[in-house]
Amino acid sequence: MNAPANLPPLPTLADVEDAAKQLRGVALPTPLCESPLLNEILGCRLLVKAEPLQLTGSFKFRGAYNRLSRLDAEQRQRGVVAFSSGNHAQGVAYAAKLCGTPAVIVMPSDAPQIKVANTRAYGAEVVLYDRWTESREAIAVKYQQERGMILVPPFDDPHIICGQGSVGLEVDAQLAERGLKPDIITAGSSGGGLISGIALVMATRHPNCQVFAGEPADFDDITRSLASGSKQKVAADAPPSFCDALMAPTPGDITFAVMRRLLKGGITATDAEVEVAMATAFHYLKLVIEPGGAAALAALLHRRELIRGKTVVAVASGGNVDAALFSAVLARTPPLAA
């Protein structure tokens, strides 16, 4: 796969396989869950990849560790800086702890408290900012320049993409154990690192599988970018999303170069549909999934014409949700029923 002239070489399946080797014995293989009752309701074979059970509570640890574990001794001494609404923050913080390198994480002041608290607990220095009036990129660059820290982007980095792609390798192996081949796979998408990595796997292992980005309805920049063939941005007047983990304003350059070649398109879910997905996953699969982590599942649950009679996989990408919010969702939202 050749990259545009202004980009580094795009990652390949071989790079994803190398990342999986790097993660072996460190990241946790997470289960591929299903419910016969839910399958009957939907009229399909639905399997949910349970990344809330990954270290730090989301898939983000995979990419962070794959990136940080490749730093040399001098780079580890200088430390790393990252910006994130919470899951990349925790992934980088814990990976930095394992690799023995300092970490500064720039996080929005309205991030879920569980994400802020855990990032600090892993030993990172947290710098809070106002996501509506300040630039997280500018703050991170300041630490990069003043302290000589290595910037670890949340998605637009080949090592990050390939670490996340290890999810796709696990899904492939777990489906094979059951004698299944996927017709559709989707994952919650913000900048596109996870779904890009998964698409690299599926393009070779299951070329007939349709790969979709799952997005919040008002943060559908990937969906619109894929439809138009060029990068689009979230509307300036878009309301804040319930899915705090999926609020990147536009796809990454590297991730979009992968996605526009390998993805079928994007599918979206409203906040109300995401709440149903959270309640459904808890009721039928006993999984705690955060709003952003449930977006892909929500998009499939409410597109029955797309999934009927098929084998479909939804990646539940994270479970870092404040207890009060999760309890409120369960109290007001019933799970999907026949």
Average predicted confidence (pLDDT) for the chain? 95
Q: Does residue 68 sit within a domain?
A: yes
Angle 180-182-187 (CA atoms, 0-180°, nearest 5)?
135
pLDDT confidence of 268, banded at 50, 70, 90?
very high
pLDDT higher than threshold 50 for residue 147 = yes
| Average pLDDT, integer, range 32-50 | 98
Tokens 């790079």 found at:
15
Closest CA to 322 of 245, 248, 270, 255: 245
**Residue 5 confidence (pLDDT):** 53
End residue of a domain, out of 120, 135, 151: 151
Check whether residue 98 and residue 51 sit in a common domain. no
Q: Does residue 214 sit within a domain?
A: yes
**Residue 85 confidence (pLDDT):** 82
Q: Does residue 337 sit within a domain?
A: no
Check whether residue 199 and residue 317 sit in a common domain. yes
Find the CATH number of the domain harbouring 76.
3.40.50.1100
pLDDT higher than threshold 80 for residue 4 = no
**Residue 8 confidence (pLDDT):** 82
**Residue 1 confidence (pLDDT):** 36
Check whether residue 195 and residue 75 sit in a common domain. no
Residues 180-205: tens digit of each pLDDT: 999 999 999 999 999 999 999 999 99
End residue of a domain, out of 151, 175, 203: 151
Q: Does residue 17 sit within a domain?
A: yes
- Residue 201 CA to residue 193 CA, distance in Å, equals 13
- Residue 106 CA to residue 89 CA, distance in Å, equals 8
**Residue 153 confidence (pLDDT):** 94
> Where does residue 75 rank: exposed (0-12), middle (13-18), buried (19+ CB within 10 A)?
middle
End residue of a domain, out of 135, 151, 167: 151
Residues 100-133: tens digit of each pLDDT: 999 999 999 988 889 999 999 999 999 999 988 8
Angle 229-232-237 (CA atoms, 0-180°, nearest 5)?
155
Check whether residue 175 and residue 319 sit in a common domain. yes
Check whether residue 52 and residue 69 sit in a common domain. no
Check whether residue 172 and residue 247 sit in a common domain. yes
Choice among 3-12, 27-36, 266-275 with the minimum mean pLDDT: 3-12
| Average pLDDT, integer, range 139-152 | 94
Check whether residue 196 and residue 282 sit in a common domain. yes
Closest CA to 295 of 250, 328, 222, 246: 246
> Number of folded domains in the chain?
2
Residue span of the structural domain in which 128 resides: 61-151
Q: 20 is written with which tokens?
A: 């999986």
Q: Does residue 7 sit within a domain?
A: no
CA 54 remoteness from chain centre: 12
Q: Does residue 303 sit within a domain?
A: yes
Check whether residue 175 and residue 142 sit in a common domain. no
Residues 284-318: tens digit of each pLDDT: 999 999 999 999 999 999 999 999 999 999 999 99
Share of the chain above pLDDT 70, in %: 99
Query: Which pTM does this prediction carry?
Result: 0.95
Check whether residue 318 and residue 196 sit in a common domain. yes
Q: Does residue 167 sit within a domain?
A: yes
- Residue 158 CA to residue 11 CA, distance in Å, equals 6
**Residue 241 confidence (pLDDT):** 86
Check whether residue 207 and residue 260 sit in a common domain. yes
Share of the chain above pLDDT 90, in %: 90
Check whether residue 217 and residue 116 sit in a common domain. no
Q: Does residue 146 sit within a domain?
A: yes
- For 103, list phi and psi in degrees, rounded to 5: -140, 135
pLDDT confidence of 152, banded at 50, 70, 90?
very high
Check whether residue 106 and residue 232 sit in a common domain. no
DSSP secondary structure letter of residue 111: S
